[in-house]
Amino acid sequence: MGFIYAEIELINSNDLALVINNYLKKEDVKRMKVKAMVDSGAYMPAINENIKTQL
């Protein structure tokens, strides 16, 4: 049994709220693509502090 990874895009949800309310342009939303290990038993993702700080 091996490890399974997925390429996912994380988007700052506060920035999305600002876009919806026309305070921010879509191009200015903070986002990043990361390679994450998949846990087939999980239903909530977890990110580390470094990624949280960047977003």
* The pTM of the whole model exceeds 0.85: no
Helix, strand, or coil (residue 25) = coil
Q: Report the alpha-carbon distance of residue 4 to residue 45 in Å, rounded.
A: 15
Domain carrying residue 37: 5-54
pLDDT of residue 44: 87
Residue 36 to residues 11, 20, 28, 30, Cα–Cα distance (Å): 15, 28, 24, 18
Number of domains present in the structure of the chain: 1
pLDDT of residue 18: 97
| CA dist., res. 19 & res. 24, Å (int) | 5
By the 10 Å C-beta count (0-12 exposed, 13-18 middle, 19+ buried), 19 is classed as: middle
Instruction: List the pLDDT tens digit at each of the 55 positions of the chain.
Output: 689 999 999 999 999 999 999 999 999 999 999 999 988 888 888 888 999 999 8
